[in-house]
Amino acid sequence: MYWTLLTITFLSLLSITATIVINLYVLFAVFVSKQLKFSADLTLFYARFAIDVLFCFGTGANLVFVMFYYSGFEEVQEVLDPYRAVTFYIIWPSINFISIRSLLAFIITCDRTLAVYIPIKHHVYRRKVSNSVIIIVTVFGYCAIDNCILWILCEFELIMPPGCLTFFCMINACYRNYWLSFDRVVFSFIGFTSTLLVIKLFVWNNCSKSKKNRELSRANRLALIDTFMIIVFDLIPSAILARFVAANTRDLGTLGVLTKFTGFAIEAFLVVAALKRREGVDTEKSSRVSIKVRMTVKL
C-alpha cells in the first residue's frame, strides 16, 4: 500500500472539507442569512471565496478517486484503472480555478496598495471599473490563455503513465514549467505589493496622529492575511516543488495539494474571525449611537 500518498491525501481531504464548510458559511452569512454585512469593498474577496469552493470540490473529487485507487485492493484498482483519464478532466478546471485565485489575490493586493498610497485618485478612478467586469475578464480571459498554452503552445496530449492520478504526472514538462513559473511570478508580485502595503499601514498606525488611520479596514486586513498565507503555503512550497520536480511527481503533486489546502483552511478561519470581529465592532458602535440618541430624545 502507498501509505505516504494515502496519508497526505487524507490530510488534504480534511483541509478541503474545512475550507468548503467555512467559505460556504461566509457566503451564506453574507448573501442569504445576512448575519454578516455585505461590503462592496469585499466583492473581489467574495468572488475568491466562491472560487475556493469550486476548486475544493474538483480537487476533493480527484483525491477521493486517488484514495480508492491506492487503497491496496486489487479488485478496486482493476475497476477504476480504465477511468484514470477522467481524473484529468476533473483536475484541469481546478487548475484553472487556482490560477484565477492567484490572479484575484494579486488584483486585490494591488487595489489595496493603491488605495492607501493614492486614496483620492483611487477613489475617483476605481469607481469607474466595475468589480463584475474585473471578475469576468479575469475568469474567462485567463481560462482562454491557459488552455491555449496547454493545448497549442505546449502541444499537450493526454497520455496517462501507469499509476498516475495527479496533475504533476499527467502534464508534460512544457506546461509544468510554465505553471510553476506562473506561480512564482504572481506570488512574487503579490509579495512585493504587499510589502508596500505593510510599510504604508505601519507608517499610518505608528506615525499618524489621526485616530481614523489607526484602524485597519476589513479589506486591508483580509489582504494582509491572504498575502501571508500565500507566501507561507504557496510561494515557498512552489519554489521547493520546482527545485525537486524531478523526484516522484505523484507524491510531490499530492504534497503540493496538502500545503495549499492547509493554507486555505487556516486562511478561511482567520477571515471569518476578522469579519466577525469587525462586525462586532460595528454593532457595538451602532448600539452606542442608538443609546445616545434615545437619551437625547428623553432629555
How is the chain split into domains, by residue range? 3-289
Query: Range with the lowest mean pLDDT among 70-74, 198-202, 247-251?
Result: 247-251
Query: Range with the lowest mean pLDDT among 72-76, 103-107, 238-242?
Result: 238-242
188: buried, middle or exposed (CB in 10 Å: 19+, 13-18, 0-12)?
A: middle
CATH architecture of 3-289: Up-down Bundle (1.20)
Confidence at 241, pLDDT banded by 50, 70, 90:
low
Summarised one tens digit per residue, pLDDT across range 10-20 is 888 999 999 99
In the numeric block, which cell numbers belong to residue 268?
A: 478561511
Q: Is the pLDDT of residue 163 over 90?
A: no
Confidence at 195, pLDDT banded by 50, 70, 90:
confident
**pTM confidence score:** 0.82
Cα 245 from chain centroid?
Answer: 23
Summarised one tens digit per residue, pLDDT across range 253-292 is 567 778 888 888 888 888 888 887 766 545 444 444 444 4
Kindly give, in sequence order, each residue whose CB lies less than 8 Å from that of residue 299, ignoring residues fewer than 6 positions away: none
What's the CA gap between 38 and 281, in Å, rounded? 15
Greater confidence, 253 or 156? 156
Q: What is the pLDDT at residue 244?
A: 60
Alpha helices (runs of H) in the chain, residue ranges in sequence order? 3-31, 43-69, 74-80, 86-117, 119-126, 131-148, 167-170, 173-207, 218-230, 236-243, 249-298
